[in-house]
Structure 1
Amino acid sequence: MMRARRLAVFIGLLVASFSEAVAAETLVVEAALDRRVVAPLLDAFERSHPDIELRFHDRSTLEVDTLVERADPAPDVVISSAMPWQMARVNQDYARPLRSREARAWPDWAKWRDEVFGFTFEPIVMAYRLDLPRHMMPPSTHADLHTLLTTRQDMLRGKVTTYSPARSGVGYTLFQQDARYTPRFWDLVAAMGNVDARLEENTRAMLQGITEGRYWLGYNLLGSYAMVWAQHHPEVIVQVPQDYSLVMMRMVFIHRDAPHPRRAGEFVDFLLSREGQRVLAGQTPLFSVRPDVSGPYTAQRLRDQVGDQLYPIPINASLLAFVDPQRRAAFMARWRREFQRRR
């Protein structure tokens, strides 16, 4: 009887230990990345790592940034398109370095200190409703857009949409980059204000408005989301600007307090691996970074289409200036002044 009791206790301890081990293999990813777009990549990871339970949470950029500091327990992996905010968190020592072959081989322009990595290469685009060409020539450059906004004000009033730089981290970043590359940026902001452009928090809201006919024209949308949307909504046409096109990268890092750092490293390694990047290039419009993969969505193919006018937002310390409070306040003050200006 005593042996049977001891055996039962031993088996109970084994079961408990096994349950704890299984729970320990759960990997939490907090991401500003639409799960529907990235699903092929997540599915491929789960197939290659059947012993890991992946919990992928799709949130806004601001929610993800807040969770980096406040989540308890911390997430294992953090992904966001708000590049300056990601860099700022890494600079605050929230990232754990990844010492792996994939990390060492990753191009220097797409990483910082082996702590944060840009694993996608997404163009920033314009989108318009198919009705638009019946009334005017759709824009293919930033100059074309400015011309339409200033010559077709009555027809476009309330029909144009773009990001709110106040409510969207990625929107603020894109406008800061626009100001860097075009001397007429503030003229464009004033022109959008003059047609009462509607400011949205995310690309999905802009695309929904175009599909519903509330908007005819959208500016500075994430190309990855827009391309997927257009596949299922033929009324939406996506245009990569031909004068210059910004490129945004999703930045990923392992949280310094990750409950499962080894598994988190395996996940980030997969994003950077040839296998993972091949999925990005062939099955998602997130565009791969690696030059040794082929498919419809690669950085090289995008360069072939746009040429030298493709401007990736660099992953380096210069991003930190974008989250400087004084610089942000000055930029937003001028944005409000120009956007509200009436001619």
Structure 2
Amino acid sequence: MIRQVIVMLAAVMTCSACIAQEDSAVFGPPTATDTLVVRSTTDINVFAPVMQDFLATRPNMAIAYEQWGSNDLAALSARHCASGADSADLIISSAADLQVQLVNDGCAIAYKSPATEALPTSRNWRNEIFGITEEPAVLIYNTELVAPDEVPLSRFDLIDLLRPADSRFVGRVATYDIEASGLGYLFAFMDSLQANTFGRLLEAFGRSGAVATCCSAELIDAVADGRYLIAYNVLGSYALARADKDARIGVRAPSDYTLVLSRTALIPKHSNNVGAAGAFIDFLLSGAGQTALGQARLVVKIGGADGSDFDLPGGGPSSLRPIALSPILLAGLDQHKRKIFLSQWRQNLRQK
């Protein structure tokens, strides 16, 4: 079984017609008789301990894990939905809007369990897609190059930092390239719905030469190296995981409002191992699974001013804006609206 999975992964990686896969690995014993194929946007090194905890009591199971970019994963999943071939057993993605689109297009199997039914409605849509994590969109900064009194606590502070023509932050602020990053697009689109600061923020980005670049790892690396002083809307789970090891990275949840993403899981309609996929979802939503996700920084607690007993300081519970799993997310994927939104974005941010 493991050999068959490895051959399948190799075929996906070498096929010239396939979309590019980022990485892959197999977890579990070589004698496993049951294999769960998971395709996900989550970095392997981040998610590996969670999978190992799940497999600890399942000696006959293995997980063949494939890491993808969010846009490529959505495109691949849609293609496999249409063809019925080479389907994963479980798809986990940070691009909740693209996952909702797959569900809306009839590409997921309904699944019910006590764990899924206990979820709030914002994290369970049609019993076909489930929010398994809580991850804020945060501001990060270089602690060695940004003075404590310069750290922006809100979007208003960030706009003020960029307002002076001679600001030392000109050309030193970055965010996601929302054309390349499905997660970046989702955060930017939700920003446009949440607050009247969005237009002012875009204007400030344009005036100050803010940079759009590809992905979480690149943004965090560039801030740590001092190429950028601040990065906006970075996924908090990855930022905190890096900050745990690198004192140069400071993390702050914006106090005006903080978007909170739930990384989503769905069982594709052509899954060959629905039982194992459902068992993994139940584990991820269980106390043990949430603890494992918290240890991986994929469940993040946001505190008040003092930040006590929380993973990072911010505006507290009243400032949280969860991104609900609902058809509202499809609005940002409408091709006409997307074209206008991207055009507005390009006018204000330079691509790296």
Give the structure-2-normalised TM-score.
Answer: 0.82
Q: Does the aligned pair in 2 maintain the 1:87–1:320 contact within 8 Å?
A: yes
Q: Report the Cα distance in structure 1 between the residues aligned to 2:209 and 2:155, rounded to whole angstroms.
A: 18
Q: Does the aligned pair in 1 maintain the 2:36–2:64 contact within 8 Å?
A: yes
2:321 to 311, 332, 336: 311
**AA in 1 matched with 2:172:** K
Query: Gaps spanning 5+ residues in structure 2: where?
Result: 1-30, 302-307
Deviations 1:20-77 (A, max 9, x none): xx77611111001112222321111110222111111121101211221235310000
Deviates more, 1:122-131 or 1:148-157: 148-157
1:39 aligns with 2:48: yes
1:159-178 to 2 correspondence within 5 Å? 159-178=172-191
Q: Report the Cα distance in structure 2 between the residues aligned to 1:86 and 1:297, rounded to whole angstroms.
A: 32
Q: 1:230 maps to which residue?
A: 243
Q: Does the aligned pair in 1 maintain the 2:89–2:274 contact within 8 Å?
A: yes
Q: Report the Cα distance in structure 2 between the residues aligned to 1:53 and 1:145, rounded to whole angstroms.
A: 46
Q: Does the aligned pair in 2 maintain the 1:157–1:196 contact within 8 Å?
A: yes
Q: Secondary structure at the match of 2:291?
A: helix
CA RMSD of aligned residues (A): 2.3
Q: Does the aligned pair in 1 maintain the 2:137–2:234 contact within 8 Å?
A: yes
Q: 2:225 maps to which residue?
A: 212
**AA in 2 matched with 1:59:** W
Deviation at 1:174, TM superposition (A): 0.7
Deviations 1:225-250 (A, max 9, x none): 00000111111111111111110110
1:332 to 329, 333, 342: 342
Alpha-carbon distance change, 63 to 235 in structure 1, aligned in 2, over 3 angstroms: same
Q: 1:114 maps to which residue?
A: 127
Query: Gaps spanning 5+ residues in structure 1: where?
Result: 1-21, 290-295
Q: Which has the higher helix share?
A: 1
Q: Does the aligned pair in 1 maintain the 2:38–2:63 contact within 8 Å?
A: yes
1:85-104 to 2 correspondence within 5 Å? 85-104=98-117
1:261-300 to 2 correspondence within 5 Å? 261-281=274-294, 283-287=295-299
1:48 aligns with 2:60: no
Deviation at 1:152, TM superposition (A): 6.0
Q: 2:209 maps to which residue?
A: 196
Q: Secondary structure at the match of 1:167?
A: coil
Q: Report the Cα distance in structure 1 between the residues aligned to 2:135 and 2:228, rounded to whole angstroms.
A: 23
Give the structure-1-normalised TM-score.
Answer: 0.84
Q: Secondary structure at the match of 1:95?
A: coil
Deviates more, 1:110-119 or 1:145-154: 145-154
Q: Does the aligned pair in 2 maintain the 1:40–1:284 contact within 8 Å?
A: yes
Q: Percent identity?
A: 32
1:185 aligns with 2:195: no
Q: Does the aligned pair in 1 maintain the 2:251–2:312 contact within 8 Å?
A: no
Q: Report the Cα distance in structure 2 between the residues aligned to 1:206 and 1:145, rounded to whole angstroms.
A: 17
Q: Secondary structure at the match of 2:244?
A: helix
Q: 2:25 maps to which residue?
A: none
Q: Report the Cα distance in structure 2 between the residues aligned to 1:107 and 1:264, rounded to whole angstroms.
A: 21
Q: Does the aligned pair in 1 maintain the 2:207–2:348 contact within 8 Å?
A: no
Deviation at 1:195, TM superposition (A): 2.1
Deviates more, 1:220-229 or 1:180-189: 180-189
Q: Report the Cα distance in structure 1 between the residues aligned to 2:167 and 2:71, rounded to whole angstroms.
A: 35
1:10-29 to 2 correspondence within 5 Å? 25-29=34-38
Q: Report the Cα distance in structure 2 between the residues aligned to 1:260 and 1:310, rounded to whole angstroms.
A: 36
